[in-house]
Amino acid sequence: MLNRLPDADPSTAETGRQNVKSLFKMLDVLECFSAVDRELSVVQIAQQTGLPRTTVHRIVDSLRGVGFLDQDASRERYRLGLKLFELGSTALTNLPLYREAQPYVDTLSELSGETVHLCVFDGTRMVFVKRSDHGAGRPHNIVTTMEATPCHSTGVGKAALAFQGEAVIERVMKLGLRSFTAATIVEPEKLREELGAIRSRGYAVDDGEHEAGIRCVAAPIRNGTGRVFAAISVSGAQRRVTTGRIPELSRLVISHAKLVSGRLGYRP
């Protein structure tokens, strides 16, 4: 006679569901903060999340207790804590992309004589993983930063966005196409045309769209499954990165993007 396994304890299952709900609420609170909303009050967080103020109070107290949030001097506003930066930096350095791309970032910087950016697409923006400066009058150095930039106005952003699904492209557009310079693409249909052209030629160009006077050439990087999740670029002053250099730089960027993709397991 087979022994029946004891039924799961309903109270245990319910506790598990409540814990998951609490985690999602904490995530909702953390995602209220951005480069624009650097500090927020409980009232503002409640307005953004739709959660009751008492719930937000409880959550921010818990997050502050583990170092995920800090309070300002007035104790009325909160900002992201350094513990998140520590965890983010650890996650960044553990990325295979971070480890594998280093020599290619260096080589591309040497060959182009310009600044090289390596960025990861986080679903809406591009997050810097590596930067290499080797332009005229600038010392060669590598720095790591957690800075994020928009997709529609940067070379790396357009190179990654062009190869995403329609739902992702639509989500990015709904966030708003902010104008950074007179050259920034702010019309959805014009951006769609640009993304189509990028898919056809295999590289993107930021022609002073994010920062006036700077031109950038970028190409997508794929992971082992073939999904575009990052991009690499060469950028510099328009007086050096002339339109005549774009064919040469695009070949360099595309070849290095393919080499990095290969190191990550991508096989066309």
89 assigned to some structural domain: no
In terms of domains, do 72 and 200 share one?
Answer: no
Q: What is the CATH number of the domain that holds 60?
A: 1.10.10.10
Report the C-alpha gap between 74 and 69 in whole angstroms. 15
87 assigned to some structural domain: no
Report the C-alpha gap between 221 and 232 in whole angstroms. 7
162 assigned to some structural domain: yes
Q: 158 with 218: CB under 8 angstroms? A: yes
115 SS3 class: strand
The vertex-148 CA angle with 232 and 125, nearest 5°, equals 75
Prediction pTM value: 0.71
In terms of domains, do 106 and 67 share one?
Answer: no
For the purposes of burial, counting CB atoms within 10 Å of the CB of 168, is it exposed (0-12), middle (13-18) or buried (19 or more)?
middle
The alpha-helical segments, DSSP class H, found in 162-216 are: 166-174, 188-201
In terms of domains, do 100 and 31 share one?
Answer: no
90 assigned to some structural domain: no
Q: What is the mean pLDDT of residues 15-23?
A: 77
Number of structural domains the chain divides into: 2
In terms of domains, do 54 and 157 share one?
Answer: no
220 assigned to some structural domain: yes
In terms of domains, do 75 and 119 share one?
Answer: no
Report the C-alpha gap between 204 and 202 in whole angstroms. 7
In terms of domains, do 141 and 255 share one?
Answer: yes
126 assigned to some structural domain: yes
The domain in which residue 60 lies consists of: 10-81
145 assigned to some structural domain: yes
In terms of domains, do 59 and 120 share one?
Answer: no
Tokens found for residue 17: 């569901």
In terms of domains, do 34 and 99 share one?
Answer: no
The string of pLDDT tens digits covering residues 226-258 is 999 999 999 999 999 999 999 999 999 999 999
Q: What is the CATH number of the domain that holds 253?
A: 3.30.450.40
211 SS3 class: coil
Instruction: Please provide the size of the chain in residues.
Output: 268
The string of pLDDT tens digits covering residues 54-113 is 999 999 999 999 999 998 877 789 998 888 878 877 776 777 888 889 899 999 999 999
User: Which residues have C-beta within 8 Å of that of residue 141, sequence separation ≥ 6?
Assistant: 132, 133
Strand partners, 93: none
